[in-house]
Amino acid sequence: QGRAQKYIVKNYFYYYLFKFSAALGEEVFYITFLPFIYWNIDHSVSRRMIIIWSIVMYIGQVSKDILKWPRPLSPPVVKLEMRTDAEYGMPSTHAMAATAISFSFLIATTNQYKYPFELGLVAAFVFSTLVCLSRLYTGMHTVLDVIGGALISAVLLVLLYPAWDTIDHLLLTSPFCPLLSIVVPLVLCYNYPKLDYYSPTRGDTTTILGAGAGATVGFWLNNQYAAPAYTSENFQLGFPLITSKMLAVMLARFFVGIFIVLLTRRLMKSVVLGMLGYRYKFPIGDLEARRRLEVEVPYKFITYSSVGFSATVLVPLLHGLLGLM
């Protein structure tokens, strides 16, 4: 573990296709796609996707560290990623995330927007399949890991779907929402399954739950103070009819939003890590100290809850000031 294997790429099309597909199940995708939906498509769709994504990913991450199924042996497989090699394999959380995001988007939009359901179904299937195949190509999962992840995600979607509207209503209106949105994820993170060696799963789980918590508080706050929602009337006639002006506004919202989100993440990482370093007396560059429970959980949770809150509250306010609503 930890040492990259040497390999020769014989088919660059597959290599770049599946390296790109693998990135669709990682933070760079979450931090761009989910906010894009919130800023440009529909608040209700984004809320449902973020809640489903948080629940599915938490269950997937915890399942890995309970089951403790090893990743494929190398050799015979060649592993193209090193960071996640320290994690267990079953289930594939890439497969779970891809299935949850693509099909929750399909379900949430199919009754609101006029587009062919078959087209949406094919797109969701292709998206999730590419991510699943990327995990086999990169040598990070077995076929069973991937199938297991996709099936678990599908079952969770079926079980949660009847409660979507109820959960959404409670998150927007309950006076206890902000408190529960912070306390419940923190309790889950501090009581994460313990392993005999360090794995990035706890930190990744805290990142996901933190982002979901910050976004949920933002949803509640926006609803309480009647923040103007992004109008989706322009999309009611179907996505293909987006005009060049609408596209320019969408891109402007996106780039402004991503700049603020990345700036928030950068600033909060520095501030929170500095405060924790001062509290627990360790240098900022001490990787081992940053992996300790009392450091890793607050560091990741505060940073990414700030990111989620920024994306749902600060960015829309800025969009309004810039005339991008």
Q: Which residues are catalytic?
A: 94, 141
| DSSP secondary structure code for residue 142 in this structure | -
Estimate to the nearest angstrom the gap between the alpha carbon of 256 and the chain centroid.
20
- The pair of structure tokens assigned to 261 is 């989100």
Spatial contact of 89 and 75, defined as CB atoms under 8 Å apart: no
Task: Please state, in angstroms and rounded to a whole number, the distance separating the CA atoms of residues 81 and 10.
Answer: 18
Task: Please state, in angstroms and rounded to a whole number, the distance separating the CA atoms of residues 159 and 100.
Answer: 12
Spatial contact of 96 and 149, defined as CB atoms under 8 Å apart: yes
Spatial contact of 93 and 64, defined as CB atoms under 8 Å apart: yes
Identify residue 278 by its one-letter amino acid code: Y
Spatial contact of 316 and 245, defined as CB atoms under 8 Å apart: no
Task: Please state, in angstroms and rounded to a whole number, the distance separating the CA atoms of residues 82 and 126.
Answer: 26
| Among candidate residues 258, 246, 256, 254, the one with its CA nearest the CA of residue 322 | 256
Identify residue 193 by its one-letter amino acid code: P
